[in-house]
Amino acid sequence: MNIGITVYPTYGGSGIVGSELGKELAARGHTVHFIASALPTRLTRLSERVRFHEVEMMSYPLFEHQPYTLALATKMSEVAESENLDLLHVHYAIPHSISAILARESLKPHRRLPVITTLHGTDITLVGADRSYLPITRYGIVQSDGVTSISHYLKQATSETFQFDQIEVIPNFICGTDYRRHDVPELRRQLSPDGLPLLAHVSNFRPVKRPVDCVEIMARVLKKTPARLVMVGDGSERQNAEHRARCLGIHDSCVFVGKQPNIVDYLSASDILLLPSEQESFGLAALEAMACEVPVVASRVGGVPEVVTDGETGFLSAVGDVEKMSADAARLVADETFRREMGARARESALSRYSTDLIIPQYLNFYERILAA
Ligand code: GMT
């Protein structure tokens, strides 16, 4: 197949999922054309089967903001013609599904271009649900030829907000070969020079991720048992989290390393992942940690309970319940055997349900059904 994929290139889990999907499809013999405003960060290597088409946006004094939606639609339409695309698969409904529908309509009647939209999270729960975007988001979803969501929770949320439930749940996936715990002695020494158990948080530090809660949890853990915390990523809440760590007098036990390309190394150096998010339609960070044998202490929110089994592969608590989260984390810190057993179960659970070999064929099967319709 010749598949067009659109993602947000530099920010967020939907871009990671769309990019990894493209690479997996290419590895299975398909040709994937990424159509995006910049080279997606996960696309480190382009090839005959993985191509990139940059959306160019003309600026003009009348435009206060550049019309990304229209420029993207134009590029989609051009690439569909020039590369003979079989379908367009867009990740994150806003505005990607609208651009794809415009492109599809512009090519009628001489070319068919089915549009598949994958819903990821705040495109439904936050941005899409806002009155300023709701009607047009609903239009984009309803007019798509096929819609998938990355969790059952998100399918349900879409049904409630948009009264639309023709949605195939195809969960996020993980490659067990790329995501595998390995020895990183140098990094481990850097992050925990005294060899103490290492807690980790990995996110884009948006308010919805509640990174300040990680610092609160750490302060409570330290009252019971020594440990260290590594905060990986960057975003608007990083300053607040660092400030809180200083206020609580635990800054020396926390290291903020900013954005890192080698997440598997950081997870391999870590013992527990903290994911205290306010909203999480899936929790890709949890899945990545689990594949690296890292148990997850998370909030019981959105799709997270589909990924993390409370008491088996991690612990779940109400959003903001830093007391309970710190008690769970402290228990894992204090008992290495318990932690390792839970980590091993986490990997087994991740790969038995979400490995690429299970999930990528589900996408291919869905494409084939849409093309045959
Ligand atoms: O919905 C968002 O906030 C953006 C999106 C993204 O691009 O990061 O995140 C969502 O998609 C991820 C990949 O499918 C999921 O793992 C995240 O749980 C989800 N984020 C939220 O629901 C907050």
Express each pLDDT in 9-46 by its tens digit. 987 899 999 999 999 999 999 999 999 999 998 898 99
Q: Is residue 311 part of a domain?
A: yes
Task: Provide the token pair at 2.
Answer: 């010749």
Q: Is residue 180 part of a domain?
A: no
Beta bridge partners of 255: 230
CB 230 within 8 A of CB 258: no
Average pLDDT over residues 54-80: 94
What is the distance in A from the centroid of ligand 1 to the CA of 371? 27
Whether residue 189 is found in the same domain as residue 333: yes
204-219 confidence digits (pLDDT tens) = 999 999 999 999 999 9
Whether residue 38 is found in the same domain as residue 164: yes
Whether residue 344 is found in the same domain as residue 218: yes
Whether residue 196 is found in the same domain as residue 88: no
Nearest Cα to Cα of residue 79 among 38, 32, 118, 12: 32
Whether residue 312 is found in the same domain as residue 202: yes
125-168 confidence digits (pLDDT tens) = 888 888 899 999 999 999 999 999 999 999 999 999 999 999 99
Task: Provide the token pair at 209.
Answer: 């991720």
Q: Is residue 191 part of a domain?
A: yes
pLDDT tier for residue 60 given thresholds of 50, 70 and 90: confident
Whether residue 207 is found in the same domain as residue 331: yes
Nearest Cα to Cα of residue 58 among 41, 75, 46, 45: 75
Mean pLDDT rounded to a whole number for the chain: 96
Q: Is residue 72 part of a domain?
A: yes
Average pLDDT over residues 339-352: 98
Q: Which atom of ligand 1 is nearest to the CA of 8?
A: 7
Q: Is the pLDDT of residue 174 over 90?
A: yes
Count of domains forming the chain: 2
Whether residue 265 is found in the same domain as residue 291: yes
Maximum distance among all alpha carbons in the chain? Answer: 69
What is the distance in A from the centroid of ligand 1 to the CA of 90? 14
Q: Is residue 119 part of a domain?
A: yes
What residues have CB less than 8 Å from 219, skipping those under 6 apart?
Answer: 248, 250, 326
Determine the pLDDT at residue 11: 76
| CB of 284 closer than 6 angstroms to any ligand 1 atom | yes
Task: Provide the token pair at 187.
Answer: 């990094």
By mean pLDDT, which of 63-67, 102-106, 243-247 is the weakest? 63-67
Determine which residue's CA is closest to atom 23 belonging to ligand 1: 280
| Candidate from 281, 287, 359 with most ligand 1 atoms within 8 A of CB, to mutate | 281
Beta bridge partners of 232: 202, 258
What is the distance in A from the centroid of ligand 1 to the CA of 11? 10
CA distance 78 to 107: 9
Whether residue 210 is found in the same domain as residue 279: yes
HSE-CB at 271 with a 13 A cutoff on CA atoms is: 25
326-339 confidence digits (pLDDT tens) = 999 999 999 999 99
Q: Is residue 178 part of a domain?
A: no
Q: Is residue 77 part of a domain?
A: yes
Determine the pLDDT at residue 114: 98
CATH of the domain at 319: 3.40.50.2000
Q: Is residue 143 part of a domain?
A: yes
Average pLDDT over residues 170-179: 97
Whether residue 152 is found in the same domain as residue 19: yes
Whether residue 96 is found in the same domain as residue 119: yes
What residues have CB less than 8 Å from 333, skipping those under 6 apart?
Answer: 197, 199, 221, 225, 227, 271, 272, 339
Whether residue 215 is found in the same domain as residue 343: yes
264-298 confidence digits (pLDDT tens) = 999 999 999 999 999 999 999 999 999 999 999 99
CB atoms within 10 A of CB 9: 21
Determine the pLDDT at residue 126: 83
Determine the pLDDT at residue 105: 98
pTM, entire model: 0.95
> What residue numbers bound the domain in which 256 lies?
185-354
Determine the pLDDT at residue 143: 98
Whether residue 199 is found in the same domain as residue 144: no
Nearest Cα to Cα of residue 256 among 200, 206, 296: 200
105-137 confidence digits (pLDDT tens) = 999 999 999 999 999 998 888 888 888 999 999
